[in-house]
Homo-oligomer: A and B are copies of this chain.
Amino acid sequence: MSSNYIGKNFRFTTWGESHGPAIGCVLDGVPSSIKLSEKDIQPYLDKRRPGQSKFTTQRKEKDKVEILSGVFEGVTTGHPISLIIKNEDHRSKDYSEIKNVFRPGHADYTYWKKYGIRDYRGGGRSSARETAMRVAAGAIARKVIEKKIKKKFNIYGALVQIGKSKINYNNWNEKFIDKNNFFSPDKQIIKTWEGLIQSARKSGSSLGAIIEIRCNGIPAGLGEPIYDKLDSDIAKAIMSINAVKGVEIGNGFNCVNETGISNVDEMRIKSGKPYFLSNNNGGILGGISSGQEIICRFVVKPTSSILSSKKTIDIKMKEKIISTKGRHDPCVGIRAVPVGEAMIATTIADHCLRYF
Contacts and interface: CB of A to CB of B under 8 A. Distances in A.
A15 B281 CA distance: 26
A245 B80 contact: no
A105 B253 CA distance: 16
B302 A79 contact: no
A281 B299 CA distance: 13
Contacts of A256: 161-164, 207-210, 299, 301
A104 B312 contact: no
B306 A264 contact: yes
**Secondary structure type dominating chain A contacts:** mixed
A31 to B, nearest CB: 8
What are the 10 closest A-B residue pairs judged by CB atoms, nearest first?
A107-B286, A246-B248, A206-B260, A3-B224, A110-B288, A236-B236, A3-B228, A2-B29, A235-B239, A2-B11
A303 B28 CA distance: 28
B317 A114 contact: no
11 contacts: A3-B225, A4-B227, A104-B267, A111-B286, A126-B286, A206-B259, A210-B253, A232-B240, A245-B281, A261-B308, A267-B311
A246 to B, nearest CB: 3
A247 interface: yes
B319 A22 contact: no
A24 interface: yes
Contacts of A72: 17, 117-119, 124
A340 interface: no
